Amino acid sequence: MTDLQTLLKQSAALHNHLCPRQVLGVRMGLAAGRYLGIEVPQSDKRIFTIVETDGCATDGVAVAVNCWVGRRSMYVFDFGKVAATFVDTHTGRAVRIVPSAQSRQLAQQYAPEAESRWHGYLLGYQRMPDDELLTIQEVSLTVSVQSLISRDGYRVNCDICGEEIINEREIRREGLTLCRACAGARYYALPDEATAAVRTVSACLDALEDILRE
């Protein structure tokens, strides 16, 4: 198992600095390996990781376990939490790990020489034992890991926009194959749609002004 400091250097290289949440991510990944009895960083894709935020902590987890979004061994459910669930795909066991409720306060006690609270977190998180830093709980998944991973080479085209859909993310509706955008889950507006929306809002504001004048 690669030692903590080596993994922290690898994580820091992705950001050009090391921050407390990277330390948390690395510690979470190492703890998961010990809990599941699997050597980390892994050399295969036995551990599949679900993270609940993006950013620094996630990179720490990725380095420690060798799970990556781009390698389809990590999935992001963005709940805005520094938390991750690690799944042993051979046995189905899953463990969710999150910083303990008291980790922030206890970190300062492990770094009395820290020049600031931030540095206290940075050093304390490296020194604290797992049972004080982390809350580790075995869980059962309500989603299928296989559905998240999908199948290599799978692709279809949306019947409305014609764009290619991979990883079985299409939606079947009334005999049509739809991408999620065309099915109504689009997070963007096309230029003509945005202009129409602005005009609608403007018209509503004009009507409201007319009412207030009466």
Model pLDDT for residues 28-85, shown as the tens digit of each residue: 999 999 999 999 999 999 999 999 999 999 999 999 999 999 999 999 999 999 999 9
| CA distance linking residue 85 with residue 134, whole number of Å | 13
Q: Are residues 40 and 123 in the same domain?
A: yes
Domain that holds residue 70: 4-148
Model pLDDT for residues 141-189, shown as the tens digit of each residue: 999 999 999 988 899 999 999 999 999 999 999 999 999 999 988 888 8
Q: Are residues 49 and 143 in the same domain?
A: yes
Instruction: Reply yes or no: is the peptide bond before residue 41 cis, omega within 30 of 0.
Output: yes
- Asked if residue 22 lies in contact with residue 12, where contact means CB atoms within 8 angstroms, the answer is yes
| Mean per-residue pLDDT over the chain, rounded | 92
Q: Tell which of 126, 148, 170 closes a domain.
A: 148
- Asked if residue 38 lies in contact with residue 107, where contact means CB atoms within 8 angstroms, the answer is no
pTM of the entire structure? Answer: 0.85
pLDDT at residue number 206: 62
Q: pLDDT class for 211, splitting at 50, 70, 90? A: low
Pair of tokens at residue 112: 């009395």
Judged by DSSP in three states, 48 sits in strand
What is the number of domains present in the chain?
Answer: 2
| CA distance linking residue 125 with residue 106, whole number of Å | 9
